[in-house]
Amino acid sequence: MNPLDLVGARPGAPFTVTFDGREIEVLPGQTIAAALWSAGVVAWRTTREGARPRGVFCGIGVCFDCLVTVDGRPGRRACLTPATPGADIGTQAGTGHDD
């Protein structure tokens, strides 16, 4: 069993995004976090002080642990942001700005 089968999902045609240069297949409607989880990726940010990896924690937009860089813009919450075809997603180091 998987979640898609459980609810009898018939998703629209998948599309691709890149994550740190590698292509990932995404189902329409999935957030960036859902797309990355489905591809087996659970970390996409490193912290400012300890450079420790982080990913989803609260899943609902409250904790800001899931920040990611999308098309060059850092600080996007992966759990809220829908993945769009061709998006260039990258691990966010620290604040994502050169500081």
Partner 1 sequence: MTERRQVLAVIGAGPAGLAAALAAAARGVRVVLVDSAAEPGGQFYRQPAPGLGARRPQALHHQWRTWERLRDGLATHLAAGRVSCLSDHHVWCVERDSGRFAVHALLGPEQREPASVRADGVVLATGGYEKVWPFPGWTLPGVITAGGAQAMLKGGLTLPGRTVVVAGTGPLLLPVATGLAAAGARVAALVESADPTTLVRRSAHPRNAVRGARALAAHPGKLAEAGGYAAQLLWHRIPVLRRRAVVEAHGRDRLESVTVAVLGPDGRPVPGTAQRLDCDTLAVGHGLLPHTDLADGLGCRLDGAGVHVDDEQRTDVPGVWAAGEATGIGGAALSLAEGHIAGRSAAARLNGTAPDPRSWAPAARSRTRLRAFFAELDRAYAAPVRWAENVPDATVVCRCEEVTAGAVREAVGSLGAGDLRTVKLLTRAGMGWCQGRMCEPGVAGVAGCDLTPGRRPLARPVPLGVLAAPPPPDAGTSPCPGTSP
Ligand X SMILES: Cc1cc2nc3c(=O)[nH]c(=O)nc-3n(C[C@H](O)[C@H](O)[C@H](O)COP(=O)(O)OP(=O)(O)OC[C@H]3O[C@@H](n4cnc5c(N)ncnc54)[C@H](O)[C@@H]3O)c2cc1C
Residues near ligand FES, by CB under 6 A? 56-59, 61-66, 77, 79
Closer by beta carbon to ligand FES, 24 or else 44? 44
Closer by beta carbon to partner 1, 23 or else 29? 29
Closer by beta carbon to ligand X, 59 or else 75? 59
Q: Does 92 contact partner 1 by CB under 8 A? A: no
C-alpha angle with apex 45: 43 to 50, nearest 5 degrees?
A: 110
Binding-site size, partner 1 (CB under 8 A): 48
Q: Does 85 contact partner 1 by CB under 8 A? A: no
State the Cα–Cα distance between residues 67 and 92, nearest whole angstrom: 7
Q: Tell me the pairing of strands 53-54 and 22-26.
A: unpaired
If DSSP states are collapsed to H, E and C, what string results for 59-95?
A: CCCCCCCCEEEECCEEEEECCCCECCCCCEEECEECC
Residue numbers at the binding site for partner 1 (CB under 8 A)? 1-12, 27-31, 33-34, 37-38, 42-43, 47-50, 52-65, 67, 76-77, 79-82
